[in-house]
Chain A
């Protein structure tokens, strides 16, 4: 259960991955402890993968897991390193 105070600071963020040939795509990041099964993306009619995650204010590190391969988001506003020193994408939420 998310506290009401925290709910007010959450923003719905859309993750879109145009890996049209992929079989399975999820988004992993600091916000879900890099858990591959926490936020799977669903494929739309145009074959583009999409999901929505509520994130709090700050800068978030994330990447797509495309058929098991860590993949940067080409639409991301930045690039950074995660705790495993891998290059990952960066998203500001304000």
Chain B
């Protein structure tokens, strides 16, 4: 059962920059609170300084939403620092959406779904992950660029804008995408994968903004419990939507959020499961789908095993 505090929003005319197309919509920020509550709040404090600034601009931004998993909340019972931060910062600058979620992607689904319901045509929903090192100097630089993602959609009439972060080659996310995500994508959706790679090296990026209308289409499709950015990008390519990519800077995950080998393997397996299901859904009306599926599945297994070997060698 989800609870949301909904504030009455005062709709005011929105002024566009000189000579640029007039802003037709508002931006709905959706913050995903870290599943594992950090001991040090410096990263979240920086993030909520940004959220406070967004909340102070009601003409441009809708009231921000923060999604908190109930399990996170329950694990912090008796923690005075957490409760003080929640009530004194998070709740002041955003509406808290408490939800029981099986995974981060369900937090996205709940948050983006609420933003979609609050918004309307022409609006943009903007996902902001909470578990990054915003407190560092590079993290603050990233925070200063994130606002570009929804603005690009509004100003340039795009459907989805992916924020790309640069990491070193040995970063676990980079390794998973190189040897897992893209290898599997090239197997199951080769032409779409080529199109996606022309835009981004990070098809699982957690930084993105999406136009209200396209979000509505994506929300109504089957919602997987994971790898939503990959599915959204594939949906964008299938429907010939306008994809943009914007470099938001160099950033690394917080120590708590870094992938272990087990986590990396799980992410590759999940990606494969999602791609298989999506492929079947799109092809099962074809008479020869099963024969084609068996070939792809066999290749996919080889790719996954190879990825697991590489990840084991590099992360194990």
> What residues make up the interface of A, taking CB atoms closer than 8 Å to B?
6, 9, 56-59, 61, 77-81, 85, 87, 90, 92
23 A-B interface contacts by CB (under 8 A)? A6-B18, A56-B17, A56-B19, A56-B20, A58-B17, A58-B20, A59-B151, A77-B247, A78-B152, A78-B244, A78-B245, A78-B246, A79-B198, A79-B199, A80-B158, A80-B245, A81-B242, A81-B243, A81-B244, A85-B240, A85-B242, A92-B148, A92-B246
Contact of B244 among A6, A56, A58, A80 (CB under 8 A): A80
Count the A-B residue pairs with Cβ separation under 8 angstroms: how many? 51
Contact of B18 among A9, A80, A90 (CB under 8 A): A9
Chain A residues contacting B141 (CB-CB under 8 Å) are none
- The answer to whether A61 touches B18, judged by C-beta atoms less than 8 angstroms apart, is no
Nearest Cβ on chain A to B21's Cβ, whole angstroms: 9
Nearest Cβ on chain B to A63's Cβ, whole angstroms: 14
Nearest Cβ on chain A to B293's Cβ, whole angstroms: 32
**Chain B count of residues within 8 A CB distance of the other chain:** 21
Chain A residues contacting B20 (CB-CB under 8 Å) are 56, 58
Contact of A78 among B18, B240, B242, B247 (CB under 8 A): B247
Decide yes or no whether B155 CB sits under 8 A from chain A: yes
Nearest Cβ on chain A to B54's Cβ, whole angstroms: 17
- The answer to whether B155 touches A58, judged by C-beta atoms less than 8 angstroms apart, is yes
A92 to B248, CA, bound (A): 11
A92 to B17, CA, bound (A): 14
A87 to B199, CA, bound (A): 9
Interface centre among A77, A78, A81, A87 (most CB of B within 10 A): A78
Chain B, 1-39, CB within 8 A of any chain A CB: 17-20
A79 with B245, Cβ < 8 A, contacts A56-B17, A59-B156 known: yes
- The answer to whether B242 touches A79, judged by C-beta atoms less than 8 angstroms apart, is no
A25 to B173, CA, bound (A): 38
Nearest Cβ on chain A to B239's Cβ, whole angstroms: 13
Nearest Cβ on chain B to A49's Cβ, whole angstroms: 22
Interface centre among A6, A59, A61, A92 (most CB of B within 10 A): A59
A9 to B152, CA, bound (A): 19
- The answer to whether A59 touches B148, judged by C-beta atoms less than 8 angstroms apart, is yes
A2 to B282, CA, bound (A): 54
Nearest Cβ on chain A to B8's Cβ, whole angstroms: 31
Nearest Cβ on chain A to B241's Cβ, whole angstroms: 9
A79 to B202, CA, bound (A): 14
Closest A residue to B195 using CB positions: A87
Closest A residue to B245 using CB positions: A79
- Extra inter-chain contacts (20) besides given A9-B18, A85-B242, CB under 8 Å: A6-B19, A56-B19, A59-B148, A59-B155, A61-B156, A78-B152, A78-B245, A78-B247, A79-B199, A80-B156, A80-B158, A80-B161, A80-B242, A80-B244, A80-B245, A81-B243, A81-B244, A90-B152, A90-B245, A90-B246
Closest B residue to A31 using CB positions: B19
Nearest Cβ on chain B to A4's Cβ, whole angstroms: 13
Contact of A79 among B17, B18, B244 (CB under 8 A): B244
A6 to B18, CA, bound (A): 8
Chain A residues contacting B199 (CB-CB under 8 Å) are 79, 87
Chain B residues contacting A58 (CB-CB under 8 Å) are 17, 20, 155
- The answer to whether A56 touches B198, judged by C-beta atoms less than 8 angstroms apart, is no
Per-residue contact bits, chain B 125-169, to A (CB 8 Å; 1 contact, 0 not):
000000000000000000001001001100110100100000000
